[in-house]
Chains A and B, each alone.
Chain A
Amino acid sequence: MAFLEVQDLKVHYPIRGGILNRIQDHVKAVDGVNLSIESGKTYGLVGESGSGKTTIGKTIIGLEKATAGRIIYEGDDVTNKARSRKKKFANYNKDIQMIFQDATSSMNPKKRIIDVMAEPMRNYFDYTPQEIKKRVADLLEIVGMNAEAMYKYPHEFSGGQRQRIGVARAVASDPKLIIADEPTSALDLSVQAQVLNFMRRIQKEYDLSYLFISHDLGVVQHMSDDIAIMHRGRFVEQGSKEQIYKNPQHIYTKRLLSAIPDMNPATRAAHKIERQRVEAEYDAQETSYYDPKGRVYDLQRYDDEHYVALKPEEPNASLQNENVGTGGGN
């Protein structure tokens, strides 16, 4: 059962201009997105820069305001209520946490780690100082760090360690969902491996869900159960990891997947030809995958839980014909 539902979420920013500084148009950062999150699963959200993936995460946690649409948490409408101090929304605030890309700037440099990590505990639980100390030590242990680390300041740690502290802090309030926005993009390969391993271990231990936002298709494939591919503020394709990686349907998904570097230098040439073929196909078929204004079509069920944003079916044309783009056209 999904505990969090995002329904037709829209986040638009006004563009002002002219002498009267009137609103002339809107940037549609997120334009009609649906998502339902079940416990214990990881949802990958993939897109290139500017696709709106971070905005979705920020809106769920309340750092951005939704223009339209609803966020339902355990049956309650919590849209734009994240900052509310009302008792009714306390659980929502506690149960949804975030890990940021840049661990350094997400910690107060003047606070010791114990205070950085105690903040969510002080907000949501009535712990005694001893209990806080014990809990911080436990959490640090989970992410593979010494209890002594709690008396140090953020700058005394390496990037990977700081990101692990960021993970530990997000877990401190016993959340149900952690929104991880590019948590390992700034890290080296071997350090990234460490952080990803800890994230998976913690997930099993606490039955956590992750909304894993990333542009790195390799990392997303490693972490996720379900994946949504985003482009121009909308989902172009949504489905299980297998469906997206093994049987991509939308031309944009195909293009993204073909751009992942091939780790085998021996097949480099073939991979390049394939990539350029997909790229050419993308250029040629843009009009059949996007509406005349360049907007992504609404998602349609392709099979099972696999949804693809395809051109609405025209009368007498089957979905199958619609898909085989290479055959048609002139």
Chain B
Amino acid sequence: MAVERSLLEVNNLETGFRFGDVYHNAVDGVSLTLENNEILAIVGESGCGKSTLATSIMGLHDPKNTKIEGEVIYKDLNLLDLNEKLYNRIRGNDIGMIFQDPLGSLNPLMTIYNQISESLEYHSDLNEEQRRARVLELLNQVGIPRPEQIMKNYPHELSGGMRQRVVIAIALANKPPVIIADEPTTALDVTIQAQILDLMVDIQDETGSGIILITHDLGVVAETADRVAVMYAGQIVEEAPVEELFANPKHPYTRSLLNSIPHELEDDDDELHVIHGTVPSLQKLPRQGCRFAPRIPWIPDEAHEENPVLHEISPNHKVRCTCWKHFHFEGEDE
């Protein structure tokens, strides 16, 4: 039994939300692995289930209205089987989380020092002096100037970039092997975004943790990720190392997305690529066949698989369905 396990393994995860008496899956059969020392980006547009995936791994859903099936394996433990008390030992200690909105994830009535040391108090047996030293160390690590003064401040006294650094410091406090970052830079200006992304890459280099980076921004992916999973309508449609994905995108959705990035115009009639139709709502999502098929109606039905699965088309590059082989943009020749 010396099989090397991944740091975190998600197997066939399904998260359904209750509408009346029916559960509709927002995450529908997602499997992925996270290794030590890697940044795995999960990219997709709003409603694709990427944030639900993160909150499912962390066990943050209201059990009354959600149904989670599948496995999240961490250190031979299926996290989904844990009760709230055991889960609380994992959260913050083994898995750190960074949210999009730093103001919303900080307590406005607590000083920066108290917020960071709270997590240390809960998960470690450091004494007050040691905690103070650790908080200082963390604030230095995330690049906060004058940490002795800043730790006496309240969140509203800091700028958006500084607050996000504090949130990162909290996530790092107990040196968790796994960090989940949900749109960590979406609310920030580009120059601050660049600093925060650099910081995350540096921290990952130093600590060797695995980071799941959830984002809608392909630029952020290109700058930071080692591996990318593209999600559409609750499923992973393509997974590849980052260079491969940008150089050799295969799935029609990935190719369409990359094509709709605003760019410099070549001539006046040049237009951005628009994906046909809209993302179906959760209740109306077709559960059979290729979910992207309605958005590429000019591709014949025979091109799709009846029950699309992920195929490994080259080492580490997986694509769902067979339609990518026949895909061409509308109006272009095959």
Residue ranges of A at the interface with B (Cβ–Cβ < 8 Å): 48-49, 158-160, 188-194, 196-197, 200, 204, 215-219, 221-223, 241, 245, 255-256, 258-266, 268, 271-272, 275-276, 279
8 A-B pairs with least C-beta separation: A261-B219, A222-B262, A193-B272, A193-B260, A188-B45, A48-B189, A190-B275, A259-B190
B95 contacts A by Cβ under 8 Å: no
Which of B121-129, B138-146, B191-199 participates in binding chain A? B191-199
Residue from the set B216, B217, B222, B246 with the largest chain A CB neighbour count within 10 Å = B222
User: Contact string, B225-258, partner A, CB cutoff 8 A, digits 1/0?
Assistant: 1000000000000000011001100000000110
User: A261-B220, A268-B222 are contacts. A192–B190 as well, Cβ < 8 Å?
Assistant: no
Q: Are A259 and B193 in contact (CB under 8 A)?
A: yes
Nearest CB on A from B295, distance (A) = 9
B334 contacts A by Cβ under 8 Å: no
What B residues does A190 contact at CB under 8 A? 45, 256-257, 260, 273-275
A221-B262, A259-B191 are known; give 6 further A-B pairs, CB within 8 A: A48-B191, A194-B272, A215-B190, A217-B190, A222-B263, A265-B225
Q: Are B217 and A261 in contact (CB under 8 A)?
A: yes
User: Contact string, B209-225, partner A, CB cutoff 8 A, digits 1/0?
Assistant: 00000001111101101
Residue from the set A48, A159, A223 with the largest chain B CB neighbour count within 10 Å = A48
B278 contacts A by Cβ under 8 Å: yes
Q: Are B191 and A255 in contact (CB under 8 A)?
A: yes
Q: Are A189 and B260 in contact (CB under 8 A)?
A: yes
What A residues does B225 contact at CB under 8 A? 265
- A221–B264 Cα distance when bound, in Å, is 6
Q: Are A218 and B223 in contact (CB under 8 A)?
A: no
B283 contacts A by Cβ under 8 Å: no
In the complex, which residue of chain A has the Cβ closest to the Cβ of B278? A158
In the complex, which residue of chain A has the Cβ closest to the Cβ of B201? A272
- A223–B273 Cα distance when bound, in Å, is 15
B305 contacts A by Cβ under 8 Å: no
Q: Are A200 and B260 in contact (CB under 8 A)?
A: no
What A residues does B265 contact at CB under 8 A? 222
What A residues does B316 contact at CB under 8 A? none
- A118–B210 Cα distance when bound, in Å, is 54
B271 contacts A by Cβ under 8 Å: yes
B33 contacts A by Cβ under 8 Å: no
Q: Are B218 and A222 in contact (CB under 8 A)?
A: no
- A265–B191 Cα distance when bound, in Å, is 19
Nearest CB on A from B329, distance (A) = 13
25 cross-chain CB contacts under 8 A: A48-B191, A49-B160, A49-B189, A159-B46, A189-B260, A190-B260, A190-B275, A192-B262, A193-B272, A197-B271, A197-B272, A197-B274, A218-B262, A222-B264, A241-B264, A261-B220, A262-B222, A263-B222, A264-B246, A265-B246, A268-B223, A272-B223, A275-B194, A279-B191, A279-B195
- A188–B263 Cα distance when bound, in Å, is 16
What B residues does A264 contact at CB under 8 A? 222, 246
